[in-house]
Amino acid sequence: MASAQMGDLDAYRRLLQDITPYLRALAARHIRNADDIEDTVQDVLLTVHSVRNTYDPSRPFGPWLVAIANRRIVDGLRRRGRVCSHESSVENELETFSADEANLQEEAADAHVVRTAIDQLPVGQRNAMRMLKLEEMSLQEAAAASGMSVAALKVATHRAMKRLREMFRQRGSKT
């Protein structure tokens, strides 16, 4: 550093090249992200460059460098902490669109599978599912339309749901 202060550009270049791996190791002790480590190393190198005139050649270079590096590392951690506290991570999630036209193929395929499964149920269960779940009738409306009691509709619907779960579980284990 003393030679660099006296204008020896080659010595200054060698100094920066020699301290870079050491600075990288110092930063890696505190920082996990490789990009953040490199940003911190560059920040330390820029600081060393801008304050190189403050180095006293009569004193050891290492403690001077470590003091600068530690301050820059802490500053970077604080800065990233402030930024991260205002950000939320974005995961690779499946997107769902609110437009009516979106995802229609999947909905149609799912509806077809459910309707096919319902068609395989016994008549009483099939009728209960169609009226109560597909046509969204109330229990009273379905009872009046089918001639079944409310209790019988509830039992038929419960049994139909149980049977459908079994059918879909079996279907899932085959694929």
* pLDDT tens string 84-116: 666 665 565 555 555 555 556 666 677 788 888
Judged against a pLDDT cut of 60, whether residue 175 lies above it is answered with: no
Q: What is the DSSP string of 27-71?
A: HHTT---HHHHHHHHHHHHHHHHHTGGG--TTS-HHHHHHHHHHH
- Give me the helix-helix angle, 139-146 and 150-174, nearest 10°: 100
Residue 51 identity = V
C-alpha separations of 157 from 64, 127, 161 in Å:
79, 9, 6
Class of domain 2-85: mainly alpha
Residue 171: closest CA among 129, 117, 134, 121 = 117
- What pLDDT, on a 0 to 100 scale, did the predictor assign at position 82? 72
Length of the chain, please?
175
| Greater model confidence, 69 or 167 | 69
Structure-model confidence comparison of residues 143 and 86, the more confident one: 143
Percent of the chain with pLDDT over 90: 55
What CATH number belongs to 104-174? 1.10.10.10
Q: Is residue 171 pLDDT above 90, yes or no?
A: no
pLDDT exceeds 70 at position 164: yes
54-67 mean pLDDT: 94
Taking a C-beta distance cutoff of 8 angstroms, is the pair 61, 107 a contact? Answer: no
Domain boundaries defined on the chain: 2-85, 104-174
Q: What is the pLDDT of residue 103?
A: 57
- Whole-angstrom CA distances from 18 to 11, 15, 22, 130 are 10, 5, 8, 77
- Mean pLDDT, residues 133-137 taken together: 87
pLDDT digit string (tens) for 11-47?
Answer: 999 999 999 999 999 999 988 888 889 999 999 999 9
Whole-number mean pLDDT of the chain? Answer: 86
Q: Is the pLDDT of residue 3 over 60?
A: yes
